[in-house]
Amino acid sequence: MDSHNVQDVFLSHLHTKRTPVTVFLMNGIRLLGTIDSFDKFSLVLRRDRHSQIVYKHTISTIVPLTVVQLFERQGSPQQGRTLSLRS
Protein backbone atom coordinates (compact mmCIF):
# COMPACT_ATOMS: atom_id res chain seq x y z
CA MET A 1 0.00 0.00 0.00
CA ASP A 2 1.33 3.43 -0.97
CA SER A 3 1.45 5.51 2.23
CA HIS A 4 0.63 8.65 0.22
CA ASN A 5 -2.55 7.22 -1.27
CA VAL A 6 -5.25 8.74 0.96
CA GLN A 7 -7.95 6.47 -0.47
CA ASP A 8 -6.10 3.29 0.55
CA VAL A 9 -5.11 4.67 3.95
CA PHE A 10 -8.70 5.74 4.60
CA LEU A 11 -10.27 2.44 3.50
CA SER A 12 -7.64 0.40 5.32
CA HIS A 13 -8.33 2.30 8.54
CA LEU A 14 -12.10 1.76 8.20
CA HIS A 15 -11.55 -1.92 7.43
CA THR A 16 -9.10 -2.54 10.29
CA LYS A 17 -11.18 -0.68 12.89
CA ARG A 18 -14.43 -2.18 11.52
CA THR A 19 -15.91 1.31 11.56
CA PRO A 20 -19.56 1.44 10.44
CA VAL A 21 -19.96 3.54 7.29
CA THR A 22 -22.65 4.95 5.07
CA VAL A 23 -21.78 4.64 1.37
CA PHE A 24 -23.66 6.98 -0.95
CA LEU A 25 -23.77 5.91 -4.58
CA MET A 26 -23.82 8.25 -7.58
CA ASN A 27 -27.52 7.49 -8.13
CA GLY A 28 -28.40 8.52 -4.54
CA ILE A 29 -28.75 5.04 -3.04
CA ARG A 30 -27.46 4.79 0.55
CA LEU A 31 -25.73 1.61 1.75
CA LEU A 32 -24.85 0.90 5.39
CA GLY A 33 -22.30 -1.55 6.77
CA THR A 34 -18.63 -2.19 7.43
CA ILE A 35 -15.87 -2.62 4.86
CA ASP A 36 -14.85 -6.28 4.70
CA SER A 37 -12.22 -5.83 2.00
CA PHE A 38 -11.27 -3.61 -0.93
CA ASP A 39 -9.05 -3.51 -3.96
CA LYS A 40 -8.29 -1.09 -6.78
CA PHE A 41 -11.78 -1.34 -8.31
CA SER A 42 -14.26 -2.39 -5.63
CA LEU A 43 -15.05 -2.87 -1.96
CA VAL A 44 -17.03 -5.50 -0.09
CA LEU A 45 -19.60 -4.02 2.27
CA ARG A 46 -20.99 -6.24 5.03
CA ARG A 47 -24.24 -5.82 6.96
CA ASP A 48 -26.29 -8.33 8.96
CA ARG A 49 -24.12 -11.28 7.84
CA HIS A 50 -24.70 -10.38 4.17
CA SER A 51 -21.99 -9.07 1.85
CA GLN A 52 -22.25 -7.05 -1.31
CA ILE A 53 -19.62 -5.88 -3.75
CA VAL A 54 -19.68 -2.19 -4.61
CA TYR A 55 -17.71 -0.93 -7.58
CA LYS A 56 -15.74 2.20 -6.70
CA HIS A 57 -16.77 4.07 -9.86
CA THR A 58 -20.38 3.99 -8.54
CA ILE A 59 -19.48 5.55 -5.16
CA SER A 60 -20.06 9.24 -4.50
CA THR A 61 -19.16 9.48 -0.81
CA ILE A 62 -18.15 7.27 2.13
CA VAL A 63 -19.16 8.65 5.54
CA PRO A 64 -17.81 6.96 8.68
CA LEU A 65 -20.03 6.80 11.76
CA THR A 66 -17.17 8.09 13.94
CA VAL A 67 -14.40 10.66 13.54
CA VAL A 68 -11.40 9.26 11.64
CA GLN A 69 -7.90 10.61 12.25
CA LEU A 70 -5.50 9.27 9.65
CA PHE A 71 -2.32 11.27 10.21
CA GLU A 72 -0.49 12.67 13.22
CA ARG A 73 -0.17 16.43 13.50
CA GLN A 74 3.25 17.91 12.83
CA GLY A 75 3.92 21.56 13.65
CA SER A 76 1.22 24.19 13.53
CA PRO A 77 -2.41 23.39 12.63
CA GLN A 78 -1.84 24.96 9.22
CA GLN A 79 1.06 22.56 8.54
CA GLY A 80 -0.53 19.51 10.14
CA ARG A 81 -1.30 16.39 8.19
CA THR A 82 -4.46 15.53 10.10
CA LEU A 83 -7.49 14.48 8.12
CA SER A 84 -10.58 14.25 10.31
CA LEU A 85 -13.99 13.35 8.95
CA ARG A 86 -17.29 13.48 10.79
CA SER A 87 -20.66 12.00 10.00
Radius of gyration in angstroms for the set of CA atoms belonging to the chain, rounded to a whole number: 14
Domain annotation for the chain: domains and CATH numbers: 6-85 (2.30.30.100)
Question: pLDDT tens for residues 12-26?
Answer: 999 999 999 999 999
Predicted local distance difference test score (pLDDT) of residue 86? 46
28-78: pLDDT as tens digits: 999 999 999 999 999 999 999 999 999 999 999 999 999 888 776 665 455
- Beta-carbon contacts of 58 under 8 Å, excluding residues fewer than 6 positions away, are 25, 26, 27
Name the pLDDT band for 3 (thresholds 50, 70, 90): low
